[in-house]
Amino acid sequence: MLSFTSEIRVAWRRASATAPANRHTAPRLARREIEKAAERCDVLRPKAAEQDITVAIQGQLPLVADGVVVTDVQVHITVEDAIREAALRTERLRQECQRQEERIRRDHELDALARRQVRAREAFLREEILANPAAVRLYGLLEGASKHWSRLGGPPAGTDLEDLVREVRQWQPGQQWVTAAQLLHDFVSGLTEEGRKELLTILADAVRAFGDENTAHHLALLSGEVR
């Protein structure tokens, strides 16, 4: 609540020549209506508040009670500079707190959204993609070219759809090399670390025998035995 000073000028008359009237009645009637109007005004802007209160009071005239008729009310509002500055600081702090609360709320909502998206992506990869080697391969192809795909989901210009379908079919469950890879994975999981390195060395030698020195070199790097 903000303290302010109001100067009130009231014009009034008796309701009739014979009616008894108390000179304090008119100010009391005016003050009651002014207080009602002031509740809806911002007295940090005194001139605007004066105008708003005056308009509200004028709409209620004449005020009649106890043999008195109030015909006009003029209001002048003043607020001490120290009180006004303190109120303005308080209002600025309140607004800043509201903005800070709103930023925190938005950040929490964005964090919650990001967590939901991560969980959804993890579930999608685990349940849909990683469960099927063909889906893994297709997902890798699509992710690699995702920036070049249209908004409608079509492939980039120049994409050979037959090659794409052929590539995906090679990774379907039950295909020869998919089954071989699964068997090899199960076999390797039962080896010791030294056994795995030895298997990589043997595999590197086998690949080199087929003339692929580059792949053999990378396998040798994995085994720790670069030749």
Distance CA 157, CA 96 (A): 51
The domain segmentation of the chain, as residue ranges, is: 5-79
The pLDDT profile of the chain, 227 residues, written as one tens digit per residue, is 566 777 888 898 888 877 777 888 888 888 888 888 888 877 778 888 888 888 888 888 888 888 888 889 888 888 777 877 887 888 889 899 999 999 999 999 999 999 998 888 788 777 776 666 666 666 666 665 555 455 445 555 565 656 666 666 666 667 777 788 778 888 888 889 899 889 989 999 999 999 999 998 988 888 775 44
The answer to whether 72 and 11 are in contact (CB under 8 A) is yes
What is the Cα gyration radius of the chain? 43
pLDDT of residue 152: 42
The token duo for 149 is 């795909």
The answer to whether 9 and 74 are in contact (CB under 8 A) is yes
pLDDT of residue 108: 92
Q: List all residues 6 or more positions away from 219 whose beta carbon is below 8 Å from its beta carbon.
A: 200, 201, 203, 204, 207
The answer to whether 86 and 42 are in contact (CB under 8 A) is no
Closest CA to 17 of 62, 65, 67: 67
